Structures are given as structure tokens and as C-alpha cells.
Amino acid sequence: MKHLFAHKSIVLILRMVLFLSLVLAVSSALAGEPGIRVPSEAWVRGDEVYLGDIAVISGLEELSEQIKSIHVGSAPAPGKRRAVRGAMIQAKLDRLDLPAGANVEVPPRILVHRLSQEVEDREFETMLADYLNGKLFMGNIEITRFQVNGNGPVSEGILDVTMEELRSDKYYGQVSIRGIISVDGMIERRVSIAAWVDYEAPVVVAKHNLDRMDILSAQDVTTEMQNLARLPDSVLTDPREVKGMRIRQGLEAGKILQARMLEKPPLVEKGDDVTIMASSGSMSISTLGTAQEAGGLGDSIEVENVMSEKIITCRVTGPAKVEVRF
């Protein structure tokens, strides 16, 4: 899931207007005479600062590229600022063969700001809601106690924000996820997102009073909307899950069904005589056995082979029927 954000910072616009006004003013002042003027305050975009990023150069066409490529230093972090000594810049300019009469103005201290942009916390909340709605499409969610840690300014450029997949399949209750902020394809920040998510969705409830050991059908249950975030994980949400199952306890009408309340009805009881089907490849034989424990369809149970009097493990395949493979 990706979102692109266009930078709309009013503060940035005002800074740029101020900077352009300064450039125009200085350009007018230097018109007609060669010169280099470094302002006492400047804004930059990149990781490194060159003189061409902060100085106004006029009438020095032959040396223009050389002057612009003078390395001033590393830029501050996005949204931060740092001071640069003017004496260092002046020393580097003194090494150039500037024409006589060139006007060079370098203040003792230049305050360099790094232009930046930032993804607001509410943008992450919107993204989290979109992500969860894509996973929990059967009900309604409400996000509370939302927190973002590790957010802050990033470089200017094209923003690309992604949400990592949750490590579990539980998308409600206490949720923790990570967001990744990239600028121009490079990861700049990883943020931690935490929230409480209430999820109202259908849950299975008893349609009428159910007695212990009842075999259930679709007519025995119905659904009603409840907040799954406040219920046990074993709550059932699909009425088809109860079909043919046996309830292990009595349950009043309207009460929620949980998976732990249900069991497969045994097709074989302990002590039952069963038919053992033994197969290997295309060959199969049958013999009689005695079940040593109860089991439902697909369960593995121990059976005594009447002929050999050995206890073997078999799989229940039907009423009074089990199989074993060799």
C-alpha cells in the first residue's frame, strides 16, 4: 500500500520567496561588476553544501563552475541548521585566480538550513485505517490510543510511504505495525505505529437453549454484531463452523459460541467393535478390532487387533470403521 505526498509547506514557500527576493536584490546590486556574495543565512536541499548552493555569483562566467563546485561542508539533517565559518569559504576563494576588482562578500558566519518535509501523524492513522479495512472487510473498525514513534522531518523530494505487513493475522485489539518513509526511492525513516482497534463484526450465538452433547446444525445458531477486540480469540464468526459439531456444555440462547465448547461427535466409542482396513499400495485387507478410545472423523485412535491382540494406531473413517496404512 503506497501513498505519494506533495510538499505543501507554507513555511517552505515563505522561505523560498525570501531567498529569491534576496537573490534578486543581490543580483541587481552586483549587476555590471564581477562579484561573489554569500548571504548570512541560506537554505539547501542536498546532503552536501557547495558554494553554488548558497552564493550569488555575477560576472565571473569563466570561473563560475569552479566557484560553484567549492565544497562548503555537509548539510545539516532535514529541518535542522548549522553554522559555517566564513573564513573557511574565504580561504578557498583566495586560492582562485579572481579578476582584479572582483567584489567578494563573505560574512563571518553563515547559518545553513536544510529544507525538509514531514508526514503528519494523522496521515499514518489514515493509512492504518485503510490497511485494516482491507483486511477486516466484514465489519467496522474504530481506532483509538493511536501513537507514532520515530516520525520527523525528511529530505525534500517525492515521498513514498508504505506499511509493513503485520506479523500475525490478528488485526484488532492492540495493534503494532511499522511505517517506512522513502524519499526519491531511498528509505529515510522507519516509524513505529501502535493503536487500539475495536472491531465490530458478526459472531456466532446460540439461537435457542442448547443442551450438553447436542449435535448442532445451522438452525441452532445465528449471528449478531459484537466487538471482537473485547472477546476471547476462540469466538466463532462463521455459522458453518458449528455444523455437525457436538457441544460440550449447555448454553443459553444468545450466548456466544467458542471453539473450545465444541468437539467432533465420536463415530467410534471406547470398547466398540470396529472394522480395520489395512492397505499398502493397491492391496488392502480387513480385520476386526476393538477401539481402545473414542474418536471422531479423521481422529487417530488406538485399536486392538482381535487376531494378533496387538495395539495399533488407526484413523477413524466412519461409524465403526478405521484404517491403517503400511
What pLDDT, on a 0 to 100 scale, did the predictor assign at position 167? 80
Per domain, the residue ranges of the chain are: 8-114, 117-265, 273-325
Centroid of chain to Cα 115: 28
What pLDDT, on a 0 to 100 scale, did the predictor assign at position 44? 95
Nearest Cα residue to 310 out of 285, 294, 284, 287: 287
Beta bridge partners of 274: 289
Q: What is the pLDDT of residues 227-245, one digit of tens each?
A: 999 999 999 999 999 998 9
CB 36 within 8 A of CB 6: no
The edge-to-edge listing of strands for the beta sheet with 81-85 is 41-44, 109-114, 81-85
Q: What is the pLDDT of residues 201-219, one digit of tens each?
A: 999 999 999 999 999 998 9
Strands 81-85 and 109-114: antiparallel
CB 189 within 8 A of CB 214: no
Using 70 as the pLDDT threshold, list the residues of the chain that sit under it: 1-32
Q: Is 287 exposed, middle or buried (0-12, 13-18, 19+ CB in 10 A)?
A: middle
pTM reported for the whole predicted model: 0.68
* DSSP states of 99-137: PTT-EEE--SEEEEEEP-B---HHHHHHHHHHHHHHH-T
What pLDDT, on a 0 to 100 scale, did the predictor assign at position 280? 81
Q: Which fold has domain 117-265?
A: Type Iii Antifreeze Protein Isoform Hplc 12 (3.90.1210)
Strand, helix or coil for residue 322: strand
Separation CA 35–CA 294 (nearest Å): 98
The three three-digit cell numbers of residue 192, written as one number = 513505529
Which amino acid, 282? S
What pLDDT, on a 0 to 100 scale, did the predictor assign at position 181? 97
Separation CA 6–CA 153 (nearest Å): 14
Separation CA 76–CA 83 (nearest Å): 9
What pLDDT, on a 0 to 100 scale, did the predictor assign at position 100? 85
Nearest Cα residue to 179 out of 1, 8, 9: 1
What pLDDT, on a 0 to 100 scale, did the predictor assign at position 28? 42
Residues 273-325, CATH architecture: Roll (2.30)
Q: What angle do CA 320, 323, 326 make, to 5 degrees?
A: 160
**How many residues belong to the chain?**
326
CB 86 within 8 A of CB 106: yes
Strand, helix or coil for residue 14: helix
What pLDDT, on a 0 to 100 scale, did the predictor assign at position 142? 97
